[in-house]
A = this chain, B = another copy of it.
């Protein structure tokens, strides 16, 4: 399978963006595999996810350049031959595209299919989301590597290592929180993590951590209709007699549980379910919703703007 590039771009809408992006890729011999656009008419913002196979100057290919398609350059009776330079690597091709997109006023990220993202998974004591992520990773459902399992407790050290994963214990207390976060950041730096997944990590990350971390952090939390403030939400939901319980996966921001939503789902409950049943059903929901959010993120399908997302599913 040839390497592909996937770009997520967004910025002020203007006529011709679809044509210019597709034309730029086509002129360079690229083959668009998927392209999905969206316009927010209120924000007058353009969003695009485009995945293509670029032409690279690898051995056996003409290094001289890519001939611009005659379909795009026409004048009555005249033939125009234009040659564009060919990038040597996917990274170079990605950089070329980024520069082009920025020249259109777009914010852009480009990821290469052969670059496997590196995930750090943060856990506490609950293991359901961790096992789910680890088994999907082993089954090849994620095009990514799990490079570290970080926890404030030792409980999951054994199971992490049974999956062949590196487990790092960084205790967190009210007193040492700032120091612990420094250690966490150093570890993320060391393992070159591209993504942090909070798999029921029961600690709030500071705004400082999120800012310095500079990496997306995906969190999962329960959600209820109506919402409940305070502790023991499943008990509150049971007391309130809700008929649905939900889970929401979102990017962590300084505002706890208020970051851009990636995915949500619910499951039906009745008076026959006690608190333990709600907790158990909540676990299944959390696993499924978190895994879907992580997959979409890894496939470059989630574009964040303001406090919301466009998910090109």
Please indicate the chain B residues that have their CB under 8 angstroms from the CB of A29 in the complex.
15
25 A-B pairs, CB-CB below 8 angstroms? Answer: A15-B29, A15-B31, A15-B32, A17-B32, A18-B18, A19-B72, A22-B22, A23-B23, A32-B37, A34-B37, A40-B271, A73-B73, A127-B139, A226-B227, A226-B257, A240-B308, A241-B261, A241-B308, A242-B261, A243-B311, A244-B246, A244-B266, A266-B266, A270-B311, A271-B309
Interface residues on A, range: 35 or more
- Within the complex, what minimum Cβ distance (angstroms) separates A299 from chain B? 11
Distance in angstroms between the alpha carbons of A141 and B283 in the assembled complex: 11
**Are the CB atoms of A243 and B227 closer together than 8 Å?**
no
In the assembled complex, A145 has its CB within 8 A of some CB on chain B:
no
- Within the complex, what minimum Cβ distance (angstroms) separates A154 from chain B? 18
Q: When the two chains form the complex, which single residue of B72, B241, B258 contacts A23, counting CB atoms closer than 8 Å? A: B72
- Within the complex, what minimum Cβ distance (angstroms) separates A219 from chain B? 14
Q: When the two chains form the complex, which single residue of B26, B47, B242, B272 contacts A19, counting CB atoms closer than 8 Å? A: B26
Please indicate the chain B residues that have their CB under 8 angstroms from the CB of A27 in the complex.
19
In the assembled complex, A172 has its CB within 8 A of some CB on chain B:
no
- Assess A38 versus B271: contact at CB under 8 Å? Given A18-B22, A246-B244, A280-B141: yes
Please indicate the chain B residues that have their CB under 8 angstroms from the CB of A135 in the complex.
128, 131
3 tightest A-B CB contacts, nearest first: A241-B308, A19-B26, A19-B22
Q: When the two chains form the complex, which single residue of B32, B38, B47, B307 contacts A240, counting CB atoms closer than 8 Å? A: B307
State how many copies of this chain the complex holds.
4
Please indicate the chain B residues that have their CB under 8 angstroms from the CB of A165 in the complex.
none
Q: When the two chains form the complex, which single residue of B224, B225, B227, B241 contacts A307, counting CB atoms closer than 8 Å? A: B241
- Within the complex, what minimum Cβ distance (angstroms) separates A85 from chain B? 14
In the assembled complex, A223 has its CB within 8 A of some CB on chain B:
yes
**Are the CB atoms of B274 and A41 closer together than 8 Å?**
yes
Please indicate the chain B residues that have their CB under 8 angstroms from the CB of A131 in the complex.
131, 135
In the assembled complex, A69 has its CB within 8 A of some CB on chain B:
yes
Please indicate the chain B residues that have their CB under 8 angstroms from the CB of A309 in the complex.
241, 271
In the assembled complex, A162 has its CB within 8 A of some CB on chain B:
yes
**Are the CB atoms of A75 and B71 closer together than 8 Å?**
no
Distance in angstroms between the alpha carbons of A308 and B31 in the assembled complex: 25
Per the 8 Å Cβ criterion, residues 1-55 of A in contact with B are 15-20, 22-23, 25-27, 29-42, 47
**Are the CB atoms of B246 and A263 closer together than 8 Å?**
no
Please indicate the chain B residues that have their CB under 8 angstroms from the CB of A264 in the complex.
225, 242-244
Nearest opposing residue in chain B for A50, CB measure: B18
**Are the CB atoms of B263 and A38 closer together than 8 Å?**
no
